[in-house]
Structure 1
Amino acid sequence: MELRQLEYFVAVVEEASFTRAAERVHVAQPGVSAQIRRLERELGHDLLDRSGRTVTVTDVGAAVLPLARAALRSVESAKRTVEEMAGLVRGVVRVGMVVSCGIMDLPELLSSFHALHPGVEITLAEANSDALISSLVDGSLDFALIGYAGDAPAGLSVRVLADEPLVAAVAPGDPWYGRESVPLDELLERRLICLPPGTGLRGALDEACGARRPRIAFEASAPPMVITLAQRGLGPAILALSMTEGLHAVRITHPSPRGRLAFAWRTEGPHSPAARALIRLCSMAAPSETAASSP
């Protein structure tokens, strides 16, 4: 029994086609068929049912499939372990970050990582949190700095950098200037300034509002513009408390929405040695008690 036979078998089952499996493993279709036939002869049973329009797995094949996958995962794990122990951290790490985040200097961390591992290619893209989360889940990104409300997004592990209340930030002359707090019901009567849907701050506000819709008069893609609009007296800006320099922060109550900023990565790998090394380095920048899980 050879590992390539197990790889071809898993590929055929997952693709339900010898042709697509051959394209996936970059081998001619007759070669895939021949190797699986050899595997079946060695085991003494058919693993695949080839009688229909699509290839399906037999009962014996269904029993073998999880074992084949486990064997392939073990081999991949062994390869990664050898690479790490030999200090051969290399490859590509794909990183994402929310737009205009001032709390964490991610470029500085990436610079430190590059100095430690110059053989690793790093890519960086900015997007809103919803897009970053989707890219982490589907594997397009290895690691990202995201904002979110409530529990950690499904399928991701996080290390929280900030967990702050949302406030209504106003300039001198605003009717709320000098107030300590405002109930959400009263907030919904005002025309607000906020980040767009898909961002962590907007998600926290929308979650607090429930079925009600806040009146967003001005929408800006980055916090500096939201702050500038509020400073010009155009209304309350919905911001995290740490973003309100130059404005008066009014606490929102009943309920009190909160937003989180966090490093995030897929809970389930496989993570490359390079990605794991970056996760470890960046996780050291956050308080250890805020970790939801570790790589």
Structure 2
Amino acid sequence: MELRQLKYFLAVAEESNFTRAAERVHVSQPGISAQIRQLENSLGTTLIDRSGRSAGLTAVGEVAFHHARAVLAAVEALRHAVDEMNGLVRGRLVVGMVTACTVTPLFEALASFHLAHPGVEISLVEDDSAKLVDYVREGTVDLALIGAAGRAPEDLDGQQVISEAIVAAVPPGHPLASEDGVTLAELSAYPVICLPKGTGIRAVLDQASAARGLTPTVALQASAPGAVVHLAERGLGVAVLSESMLAQHPQLRTVPITDADIAAVLALVSAPTKSPALRELLVHCQDSFGAPADKGLVSAGKTAAD
């Protein structure tokens, strides 16, 4: 008795026809007939009633059908279990992260995963959030830490880890330094320094401004939040970042943007279909990031939802 014979037997039983069954399993009709004859000979009984126009099951065939299906299901489960273990022993993961990422829980998750599964190769890709989302959709990146406006893309699985407001930041002596808040309309009177398009922070600024019929005057942009801060410190414009990005820069005065009502979100995103290695990495990410945070999973105040 061979597994392929059981497979052919199930195909004939389900199709009630040798020709259709042969087409389904991609063998010739004489070939499938011969294999089922061999199966019947090995069992010492007839499984298929060939007397009518259709190929029906004999009484013994009915019993054999259920057992054959259970055997093939068990073989498939065995193969799946072995593939899962091999995936954790010899797998490969591509992890994307926003440019200038210093979110330490991600690095901690990668380190703990590598310690537990040293055979899985990990590659890192840095890019802006919009491109990382495309890479996850294409399947070239397995998991990505991205910034977004309001929420992570709905077509991807996501774990939100930060949700916070964008704010303006200016050096002492700037006209906004003494204000308790600034509107987007008031902000548009000044040159703005921000992250580039494709980042979560910039998406929040652009979307919130567009909702009020405004276009922010972005005079300078830099991919690293720290560079935005340094440019603002030198009086080249008003920095627009998230609150946690500015936490370690007391030399700038933080001014709330009172009508920017879209949150800057930092999230881990992955495609719905996941390899065994990716499922395991997500467990480590959950342990490292913990429950979704409202503020600041940021190292050195450099990166939040960018």
Task: Check whether TM > 0.5.
Answer: yes
Aligned to 1:250: 255
User: TM-score by structure 1 length?
Assistant: 0.69
SS across alignment from 1:288: coil
Aligned twin of 1:144? 144
Partner of 2:61: none
In 2, distance between residues paired with 1:110 and 1:192? 35
SS in 2 for 1:96: strand
The match for 1:277 among 273, 280, 284 is 280
**Contact 2:194–2:218 (CA under 8 A) maintained in structure 1:** yes
Give yes or no for contact 1:83–1:89 (8 Å, CA) kept in 2.
no
**Partner residue in 1 for 2:265:** 260
Larger Rg: 2
Deviation sequence 1:34-63 (CA, Å, 0-9, x none): 963648x97xxxxxxxxxxxxxxxxxxxxx
CA offsets per residue over residues 187-210 of structure 1, 9 Å max, x none? 122110001100111111111112
Q: Secondary structure at the match of 1:182?
A: coil
Q: What is the 5 A alignment of 1:24-173?
A: 36=26, 38=28, 79-84=79-84, 88-173=88-173
Q: Using the alignment, how far apart are the partners of 2:88 and 2:257 within structure 1?
A: 50
Structure 1 or 2: more strand by fraction: 1
Instruction: Report deviation, 1:154.
Output: 2.9
Give the partner amino acid of 1:276: R
Matches of 1:96 and 1:259 in 2, distance apart? 19
Pair 1:224–1:283, CA change in 2 (3 A):
same
Change (3 A) 1:80 1:131: farther
- Which of 207, 210, 218 is the equivalent residue of 1:216? 218
Is 1:160–1:263's contact at 8 Å kept on the other side of the alignment? Answer: yes
* 1:82–1:218 Cα change, 3 Å: same
Partners of 2:188 and 2:76 in 1: CA distance: 53
Q: Please provide the CA RMSD for this pair.
A: 3.3
Shifted more, 111-120 versus 254-263: the winner is 254-263
Structure 2: how far apart are the matches of 1:150 and 1:77?
41
Instruction: In structure 2, give the amino acid aligned to 1:238.
Output: V
Question: Hey, what's the Cα distance between the residues in 2 that align with 1:76 and 1:213?
Answer: 58
Q: Which residue of 2 aligns with 1:197?
A: 197
Number of residue pairs matched by the alignment: 233
